[in-house]
């Protein structure tokens, strides 16, 4: 079946001008408040055609693509797919996929905590079979899809995506979208941004192959020569509108640049051949900065160029740090302006005024007064200098366009006492007109006697600089001055080899640490067990194990419940209370009135589903909701039964009390619980649950419902905790609402010791089982050593802190290594 | 209409105020027992809650899901230490005060160390340190003797100036200080900046780690002082003394309109939130609800308010 779907269809669709378009957009528009992201877009894509799409940042390409694949609902207009009108209200990502529209996103929509094959499942769930070995099909699908598009790439399909290189990830993203046998329209959003020339050529030849099968392709790229090379027609967008449609043949790059809004303003070189005689603000004297020390002076604009990630941002970070490294001399105060406004720039709750004045306030002593009357004139003056409308000082910062937000961030940095202004790709996502303003501004700042150090990802911008330092492999490989600065020179220098090849991160050691962390729960389990056996040899007997492991079963189950919540990067503070609640219900109501009791248990499950719903739908931190819920569970338990007591239903005990091959029952129960957890985690559903742990956006775009899976996650957790509660009732023949509370911390400790990470959706069921048993045994060990049980909590708490500290240390080393 | 909505969005403390008025009206109408005297009882209970609630508010405002779960253990331990170090004289009270503040400082620094240096998520770090402190409580619990309260200690926690309880005056002073700190000082701005975006705050020049550390230290200090005053009020210390302050400190902050996601807080709101929460509890006690039901209702109220308010930052940033 898989072979069939990977083979190209034999019939090629002949080109015919009069045929119905594959996809036809009529006056599509999309407004966000007063901004029109898309306006009156009329466009058609034919089967077997490659449509190139170009436009400056912010031209509306991304919005249009999100509309095409059902992520965003347009405000106006209609869409027809193969002649059939689409109901736009019901046009979801899932519906788009069902109709054969696939997209490879520029910002990559892969889940880093899933393997390559599992990522294929996320996007193509329709091939999953009810079979324990279901993932094998996906390994094959992934391998074949990758090999077909990028012959020789050899991306390992069992590797976690997070461990792949950026180019490999991009190949996976493309192959995944293109592997749909129902594919009708493939959208490639900047598909070659991280690919080398050869891979890019392979991709283009694959696209040709697709069109021969009658599939339409939309190819979005900033690499204009590639667009012209691959496309049949090219569309240019500007200000949310389609402004230009033409056959690719006979179109030149200059035509496209013109159509996109002209780089005329941007390209204008504010040439200035001069040797600055300002004060030396920065001296770079290390080996990595070349043979001669480099001096950067007041009044200069210094460009920091190179391929992305060659050490440019490290230099900026070092210059901004409180104490620069020994080979960087800094004389003067620095300010930082980031182009990653959403993450590193704006304070979203604040007005423009507050966003500007924080720059002054940040460096004041904590108890000094802040007065609006003092800040406003300063901010107004700066706004005026930057041609930022003063009327907007009281608007929320997010109401401003990207370019104006950036102006506010620059205004923040315009302190009198600042000597060095660091610009980190400040024009990202800023439209071309605003860029022109911005360049003029940077020159003004430099003229005012400040040193400007400017990192950009757009080589064209370096034409605005007095000098450009080109990085490669973490070193400065070239310094260009004045008229030597050109796009070609920078690109040529970027590919220079540094003298010393950069040291490859010590993969070996990283892997050793990772393996060691994974082994912790098992090693410590063996160690604790060995110590206990050496103290009392009877421990290793069947009876000893039975006695020892019986209390561990509860913790194993609760820890597994906690693990599924942690798999979603959340924490359940109510799991102990819930277990106690189930314990009480099953020892009281379930005995007296089985029907009512079962009703109460089901209500408990539904309660957990509701918790999952509230957390996801209202975006409330899980910790607060589950903390509140823990009081609800405990309160209900207390209301049902105010002091310990009760009994077990007669049918309950046999459920947990049987024997197999003379093995101790608790051992079998623990193994069983572990197996169920592993199977769940490795099942298709478990894969999606884990995928949600690394973020919801990509999954949502692939058509998975975050709310449904959040509810499912909590119901699974509740099911494990419920079994734990029933087990306590069955073995103790009584209940105590307060007995459950201590399990909350223990379950988190077990999960952490077991090798799960609290963020990112990395979980390890078997490790958790081993960790939980270890913790339970430690309690018994302390008791057998005669340690007061009062110390248990402290020992467990300290153990948790110690293991987390170890993990943090290992992670940091991995990052630095 | 739109203006009043904007007013409500900016001044989220209006909601708990409305809640308080409604509840007060309802109580006055429903029970003849409810008088000005019970209002003073509410004021004292809220005063005790207010101190840890301010600490919790500061920690929550640093964002990233930060929360201080070690508050109850700190309160309890401080109460025990107050009882143990007290010798009945005002001179001895100085030692008690020093010991209690030392505990607060120690716990706060330890929490900050775990969160900032070891980089353990705050909820886990404070949960774990809370357990360690709980063990400390168990150990001292075995050795606790008679409590001879210093006169000054007694005056602080139960005394009155005119008809005003001293405790209420303390709480109001702390509230004014917190209000000033949040809305008028550079510290408040820096804290709100950190809570909205740590990276942006760092790049704007805020000393992010120092701010975060200070919130944990403040929280632990306020909790330990609460323990001190509580022991004076109750005339002793007992194991579950601090337990209510876990949920209630979060509850007061949430009801008061502080954003659970961080970046925006209101001291006045937290004051009203604490009062509202204490009134809810008092109402339940007057109504004769068993403790279990009271727990349930508190949990429901907090989750309910959060669900209604939502935790999304003022607006989505996309």
Q: Render pLDDT for B32-49 as a digit per residue (tens, 0 to 9).
A: 665 666 677 888 999 999
Where does the pLDDT of residue A565 fall: very low under 50, low under 70, confident under 90, or very high at 90 and above? very high
Where does the pLDDT of residue A498 fall: very low under 50, low under 70, confident under 90, or very high at 90 and above? low
How many percent of chain A have pLDDT more than 90? 38
Q: Is the pLDDT of residue A60 over 50?
A: yes
Residue of B nearest to A789 (CA): B135
For residue A365, the chain B residues in CB contact (below 8 A) are: 186
Q: Please give the average per-residue pLDDT across B174-179, as a whole number.
A: 95
Q: Is the pLDDT of residue A19 over 80?
A: no
Number of A to B CB contacts under 8 A, please give it: 224
Task: Judge: A369–B185 Cβ closer than 8 Å, yes or no.
Answer: yes
Measure CB to CB from residue A635 to each of B214, B261, B293 and give the nearest one.
Answer: B293
Q: What is the secondary structure of A684-724 as a DSSP string?
A: HHHHHHHHHTT-SHHHHHTT--HHHHHHHHHHHHHHHHHHH
DSSP-derived letter for residue A240 is T
Q: Please give the average per-residue pLDDT across A328-348, as a whole number.
A: 89
Contact present, A6 and A140 (Cβ < 8 Å)? no
Q: Which of A757, A591, A791 is nearest to B121 (CA)?
A: A757
Burial class (CB in 10 A: 0-12, 13-18, 19+), A533: middle
Q: Please give the average per-residue pLDDT across A54-68, as a whole number.
A: 81
How far is A383 from A380, CA to CA, in rounded Å? 5
How far is A191 from A203, CA to CA, in rounded Å? 9
Tokens 């077909």 correspond to A148
CB contacts under 8 A, A 757-796 vs B, are 758-759, 790-794, 796
Q: Please give the average per-residue pLDDT across A23-51, as a whole number.
A: 86
Q: List, in sequence order, the alpha helices (H) in A60-133.
A: 61-68, 93-98, 116-123
Q: Render pLDDT for A644-660 as a digit per residue (tens, 0 to 9).
A: 888 888 888 888 877 77
Measure CB to CB from residue A745 to each of B128, B188, B259 and give the nearest one.
Answer: B128
Contact present, B127 and B70 (Cβ < 8 Å)? yes
Taking CA atoms, A668 is separated from A549, A732, A746, A775, B277, in Å, by: 10, 19, 22, 18, 48
Where does the pLDDT of residue A274 fall: very low under 50, low under 70, confident under 90, or very high at 90 and above? low
Judged by DSSP in three states, B120 sits in coil
> Taking the CA of residue A90 as centre, how many other CA atoms within 13 Å lie in the half-sphere pointing to its CB?
5
Domains and CATH numbers, chain A: 22-100+183-197+209-256 (3.40.50.300), 114-181 (no CATH), 278-494 (3.40.50.300), 539-816 (1.10.3470)
Contacts of A107 (CB under 8 A, 6+ apart): none
A98-102 long-range contacts (CB < 8 A, ≥24 apart) are: A98/A182, A99/A184, A100/A180, A100/A182, A100/A183, A100/A184, A100/A185, A101/A23, A101/A68, A101/A69, A101/A70, A101/A184, A101/A185, A101/A187, A102/A69, A102/A177, A102/A178, A102/A180, A102/A183, A102/A185, A102/A186, A102/A187
Contact present, B226 and A376 (Cβ < 8 Å)? no
Contact present, B56 and B253 (Cβ < 8 Å)? yes
How far is A720 from A794, CA to CA, in rounded Å? 26
Q: Render pLDDT for A72-115 as a digit per residue (tens, 0 to 9).
A: 889 889 999 888 888 888 888 888 888 999 999 877 788 989 99
Gap from B96 CA to chain A (nearest CA, Å): 25
How far is A41 from A245, CA to CA, in rounded Å? 12
Integer-rounded Cα Rg, in Å, for chain B is: 19
Where does the pLDDT of residue A600 fall: very low under 50, low under 70, confident under 90, or very high at 90 and above? very high
- pLDDT at position A511 is 63
What is the number of other CB atoms lying within 10 angstroms of the CB of residue B94? 12
Task: Judge: B124–A369 Cβ closer than 8 Å, yes or no.
Answer: no
One-letter-per-residue 3-state SS of A188-210:
EECCCCCCCHHHHHHHHHHHHHH
Q: Which residues of B38-59 are buried (b: 16+ CB within 10 A; e: fewer)?
A: eeeebbbbbbbbbbbbbbbbbb
How far is A804 from B124, CA to CA, in rounded Å? 9
Q: Work out the mean pLDDT of chain A and round it to a whole number.
A: 85
Task: Judge: A362–B292 Cβ closer than 8 Å, yes or no.
Answer: no
Q: Please give the average per-residue pLDDT across A508-519, as a whole number.
A: 70
Q: Is the pLDDT of residue A265 over 90?
A: no
Q: Please give the average per-residue pLDDT across B140-147, as a whole number.
A: 82
Where does the pLDDT of residue A504 fall: very low under 50, low under 70, confident under 90, or very high at 90 and above? very low
How far is A706 from A696, CA to CA, in rounded Å? 7
Measure CB to CB from residue A638 to each of B121, B291, B314 and give the nearest one.
Answer: B291
- pLDDT at position B313 is 40
Tokens 């290390």 correspond to A286
Element (H, E) at A281: strand A280-284
Q: Please give the average per-residue pLDDT across A562-582, as a whole number.
A: 94
pTM, entire model: 0.84
Angle at B94 between CA B92 and CA B97, to 5 degrees: 115
Q: Is the pLDDT of residue B84 over 80?
A: yes
Gap from A632 CA to chain B (nearest CA, Å): 4
């Amino acid at each position: 079946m898989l072979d069939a779907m990977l083979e190209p269809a034999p019939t090629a669709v002949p080109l015919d001008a009069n045929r119905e378009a594959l996809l036809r957009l009529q006056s599509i528009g999309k407004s966000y408040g007063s901004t029109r992201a898309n306006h009156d877009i009329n466009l058609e894509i034919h089967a077997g055609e490659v449509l190139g799409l170009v436009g400056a940042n912010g031209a509306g390409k991304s919005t249009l693509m999100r509309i095409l694949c059902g992520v965003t609902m347009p405000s106006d207009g209609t869409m027809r797919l193969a002649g059939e009108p689409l109901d736009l209200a019901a046009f979801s990502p899932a519906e788009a996929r069902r109709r054969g529209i696939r997209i490879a996103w520029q910002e990559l929509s892969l889940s880093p905590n899933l393997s390559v094959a599992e990522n294929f499942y996320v996007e193509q769930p329709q091939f999953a079979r009810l079979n324990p070995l279901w993932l094998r099909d996906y390994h094959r699908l992934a391998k074949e899809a990758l090999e077909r598009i990028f012959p020789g790439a050899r991306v390992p399909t069992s590797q976690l995506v997070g461990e792949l290189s950026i180019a490999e990830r991009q190949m996976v993203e493309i192959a995944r979208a293109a592997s749909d046998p129902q594919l009708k329209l493939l959208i490639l959003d900047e598909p070659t941004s991280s690919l080398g020339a050869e891979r890019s050529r392979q991709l283009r030849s694959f696209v040709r192959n697709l069109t021969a099968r009658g599939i339409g392709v939309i190819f979005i790229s900033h690499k204009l020569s590639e667009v012209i090379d691959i496309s049949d027609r090219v569309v240019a967008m500007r200000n949310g509108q389609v402004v230009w449609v033409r056959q690719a043949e006979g179109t030149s790059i200059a035509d496209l640049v013109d159509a996109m809004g002209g780089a005329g303003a941007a390209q204008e070189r504010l040439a200035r051949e001069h040797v600055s005689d300002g004060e030396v603000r920065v001296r770079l004297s290390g080996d990595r900065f070349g043979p001669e020390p480099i001096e950067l002076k007041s009044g200069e604009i210094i460009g920091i160029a190179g391929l992305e990630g060659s050490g440019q941002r490290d230099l900026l970070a070092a210059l901004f740090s409180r104490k620069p490294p020994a080979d960087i001399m800094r004389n003067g105060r620095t300010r930082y302006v980031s182009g990653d406004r959403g993450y590193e720039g704006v304070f979203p709750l604040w007005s423009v005024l507050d966003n500007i004045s924080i720059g002054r306030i940040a460096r004041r002593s904590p108890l000094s007064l802040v007065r609006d009357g003092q800040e406003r004139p300063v901010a107004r003056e700066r706004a005026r200098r930057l041609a930022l409308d003063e009327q907007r000082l009281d608007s929320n910062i997010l109401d401003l366009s990207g370019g104006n937000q950036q102006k506010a961030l620059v205004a923040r940095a315009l302190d009198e006492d600042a000597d060095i202004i660091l610009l980190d790709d400040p024009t990202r996502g800023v439209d071309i007109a605003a860029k022109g303003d911005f360049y003029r501004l940077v020159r003004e700042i430099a003229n005012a006697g400040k040193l400007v150090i400017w990192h950009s990802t757009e080589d064209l911008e370096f034409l605005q600089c007095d000098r450009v330092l080109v990085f490669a492999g973490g070193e400065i490989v070239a310094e260009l001055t004045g008229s030597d600065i050109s796009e070609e020179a920078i690109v040529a220098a970027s590919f220079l080899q540094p003298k010393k090849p950069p040291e490859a991160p010590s993969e070996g050691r990283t892997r050793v640490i990772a393996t060691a962390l994974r082994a912790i729960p098992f090693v410590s389990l063996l160690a604790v067990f060995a110590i206990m056996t050496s103290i009392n040899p009877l421990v290793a007997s069947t009876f000893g194990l039975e006695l020892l492991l019986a209390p561990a079963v509860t913790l194993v189950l609760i820890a597994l419940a906690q693990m599924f919540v942690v798999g979603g990067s959340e924490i359940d503070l109510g799991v102990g209370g819930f277990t106690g609640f189930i314990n009480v219900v099953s020892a009281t109501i379930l005995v007296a009135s089985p029907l009512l009791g079962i009703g109460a248990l089901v209500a408990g499950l539904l309660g957990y589903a509701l918790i999952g719903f509230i957390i996801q739908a209202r975006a409330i931190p899980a910790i607060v909701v589950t903390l509140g819920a823990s009081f609800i569970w405990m309160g209900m338990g207390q209301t049902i039964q105010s002091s310990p007591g009760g009994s077990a239903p007669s049918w309950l005990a046999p459920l947990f009390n049987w024997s197999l091959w003379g093995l101790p029952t608790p051992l079998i129960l623990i193994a069983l619980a572990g197996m169920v957890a592993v199977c769940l985690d490795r099942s298709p559903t478990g894969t999606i649950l884990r995928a949600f742990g690394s973020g919801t956006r990509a999954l949502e775009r692939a058509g998975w419902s975050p709310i449904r899976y959040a509810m499912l996650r909590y119901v699974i957790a509740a099911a494990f905790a419920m079994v734990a509660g029933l087990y306590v009732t069955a073995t103790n023949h009584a209940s105590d609402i307060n007995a459950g509370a201590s399990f909350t911390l223990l379950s988190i400790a077990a999960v952490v010791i077991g090798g799960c990470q609290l963020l990112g959706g990395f979980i390890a069921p078997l490790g958790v089982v081993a960790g939980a048993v270890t913790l339970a045994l430690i309690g018994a060990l302390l008791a057998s050593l005669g340690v007061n049980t009062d110390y248990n909590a402290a020992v467990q708490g300290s153990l948790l802190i110690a293991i987390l500290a170890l993990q943090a240390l290992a992670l940091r080393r991995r990052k630095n290594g | 209409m739109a203006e009043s909505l904007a007013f409500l969005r900016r001044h989220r403390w209006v909601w708990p105020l409305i809640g308080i008025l409604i509840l007060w009206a309802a109580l006055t109408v429903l029970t003849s027992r409810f008088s000005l005297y019970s209002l003073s009882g509410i004021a004292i209970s809220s005063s005790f809650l207010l101190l840890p609630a301010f600490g919790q508010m500061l920690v929550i405002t640093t964002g990233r899901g930060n929360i201080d779960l070690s508050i109850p253990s700190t309160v309890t331990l401080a109460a025990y230490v107050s009882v143990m170090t007290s010798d009945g004289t005002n001179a001895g009270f100085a030692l008690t005060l020093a010991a209690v503040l030392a505990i607060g400082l120690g716990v706060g620094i330890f929490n900050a160390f775990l969160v900032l240096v070891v980089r353990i998520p705050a909820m886990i770090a404070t949960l774990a340190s809370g357990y360690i402190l709980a063990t400390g409580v168990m150990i001292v619990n075995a050795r606790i003797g008679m409590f001879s309260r210093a006169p000054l200690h007694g005056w602080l926690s139960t005394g009155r100036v005119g008809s005003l309880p001293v405790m209420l005056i303390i709480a109001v002073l702390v509230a004014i200080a917190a209000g000033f700190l949040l809305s008028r000082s550079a510290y408040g701005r820096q804290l709100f900046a950190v809570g909205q975006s740590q990276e942006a705050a760092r790049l704007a020049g805020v000393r992010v780690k120092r701010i975060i550390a200070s919130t944990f230290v403040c929280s632990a200090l306020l909790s330990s002082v609460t323990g001190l005053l509580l022991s004076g009020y109750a005339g002793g210390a007992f194991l579950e003394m601090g337990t209510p302050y876990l949920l209630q400190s979060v509850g007061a902050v949430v009801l008061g309109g502080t954003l659970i996601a961080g970046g925006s807080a209101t001291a006045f709101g937290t004051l009203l939130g604490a009062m509202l929460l204490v009134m809810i509890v008092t109402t339940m006690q007057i109504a004769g609800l068993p403790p279990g039901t009271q727990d349930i209702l508190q949990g429901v109220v907090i989750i309910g308010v959060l669900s209604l308010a939502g935790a999304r930052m003022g607006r989505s940033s996309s």
